[in-house]
Amino acid sequence: MAEPNTNPNTAEGGNEATFTQAEVDTIVAKRLARATKGMPSEEEMNAYKAWKANQQSEADRIKDIEKERDTEKAARLAAEAKVTQFEREKYLTAKGVSADELEFYCFKIGQKVTDTVSFEKAADE
């Protein structure tokens, strides 16, 4: 039994179509052009990869800056707390509080301080 002819390049009489190398190159080039249509070029891909790497390094730089900002903020708040404590101790020393009782009075009076009542006003009471 003979197998059916499934090759679309053959003629009815059984002759196979033949192509020259130039024709094959043209067919392959056209097919490749259709397949790669809309795809970025190698230069575009390299530019994208460089941009993406820059974005990542930029994100790392921002994280480092934020970490440094938070560290500096914590140091500033600690320094402000010390200054406030020294000012309170100075005020109480001027009022005649002994050095032994200074820390206790600063703590107790500090609990009475609010947005409307200053340390000095609370100490005077």
Residue range 19-39, pLDDT digits in tens? 899 999 999 988 888 887 778
pTM: 0.49
Cross-strand bridge partners of residue 10: 16
Average pLDDT, the chain: 83
Cα(123)–Cα(98) distance, integer angstroms:
14
Is the pLDDT at 60 greater than 90? The verdict is: no
Q: Contact at 8 Å (CB) between 43 and 35?
A: no
List pLDDT tens digits, range 90-100: 888 888 888 88
In 3D space, the residue among 98, 105, 99 whose CA is nearest the CA of residue 122 turns out to be 105
Residues 6+ apart with CB under 8 A from 93: 99, 102
Confidence of residue 112 (pLDDT cuts 50, 70, 90): confident
pLDDT value of residue 26: 92
> Between 117 and 12, whose confidence is greater?
117
Task: Say how far residue 62 (Cα) sits from the centre of its chain.
Answer: 7
